[in-house]
Structure 1
Amino acid sequence: MASERPVLKLKSCEGKALQVQRGAALLSGFLKDVLNYTFCATDLANGGREAPIRIKFRSEGGAKGPDKHTLSKVIEYCGLQSSNTKRETGEHGRESWTSEETTYIDGLRGLGTDNTVFKVMMAADYMDIEGLLDLTCEAVADMIRNKSVEEIRELFNIQNDFDPAEEEPNLQSYAWAFENDDAH
């Protein structure tokens, strides 16, 4: 098992190293596995110093992993959660967000149109951070609720690869999904 160092280094897709407290890093199933089952945390060729753990994956958009900004937002969330803030059960038996989580997700939404919430969601999925994945999925669901297909494409900068003749049957088949439903 890797040495018990209090701070770990993670490397973004640009090669930038960021530090995270070990307790916060252990919220990630991916990082927990890396620390438990490999020797990546210590690079013997690097004089025994702590080597950054590269967060690397491929997505359809060609991204090779989270960029420095996205990874810093993931680390920020893990830092908030490592303080063991307990969630309360809210409406419909679901856990409600803590005030820290609400502030965090509002901060992500306020960063503009660079799809930060979506990027953080993708990183949370890859890094197996269940709480962050739940939080960002709910935020994305809130962002697209009651929006048209065109508005969603614009929001996430998605190019329409259907011609009008191909798209029309899909819109008709799933018209129920685009009806305003104020019950939820």
Structure 2
Amino acid sequence: MNALENLIKQLSRLPGVGSKSATRMAYHLLKCDSSYNEKLSEAIGTIKEKIHKCSICGSYTEADPCPLCSDPKRDQALLCVVEQPQDVMTIVNSGIYNGLFHVLGGAIDPLNGIGPDDLSFKELKDRISNGNFKEVIIATNPTEEGDTTALYIRHILSGSNVTVSRLAAGLPIGGDLEYADRLTLARSIKGRISF
């Protein structure tokens, strides 16, 4: 296997990148100047040694605790529980949530061998017990695994003095009923609110 084929093979292992996209990226990198490719190579090569999980929330960071956990301006009474570290950035970038986060590291998925002991539920319970949280917002994905995980969180927090809420799910703003899939439409009808 030559260098170009190897690069395409490695790029195609990235999530969401098929062989066509990997081929386009590889040819793009061939056109780039050497300094860009060296900087990209260095960034990839050092990511594992520079970035690690925050000891408090479980999100990826260079500093421990992460900037979000150590920010006194964030609402210390709100805790948003997400599946993956990238979910934290998605919510932060929305600009509408100013509380703290807890990353589970996935969702309960028995078919793939992921049970409650494989995720950070114990750490979540400890944070709730030792913190001053008033509300826990469950922001798991609207999938069967996300729903199962949300129910489990509600179960393990049932004895605590926090309000447990879940992100609303349903039709997007500006969406058209004609293009809604059955599951989204079903969630919208089940999650309807008084008007």
Normalised TM-score (structure 1): 0.29
* Bigger helix share: 1
Q: Going by fraction, where is strand more abundant, 1 or 2?
A: 2
- Of structures 1 and 2, the one with the larger relative CO (CA 8 A, separation 6+) is 1
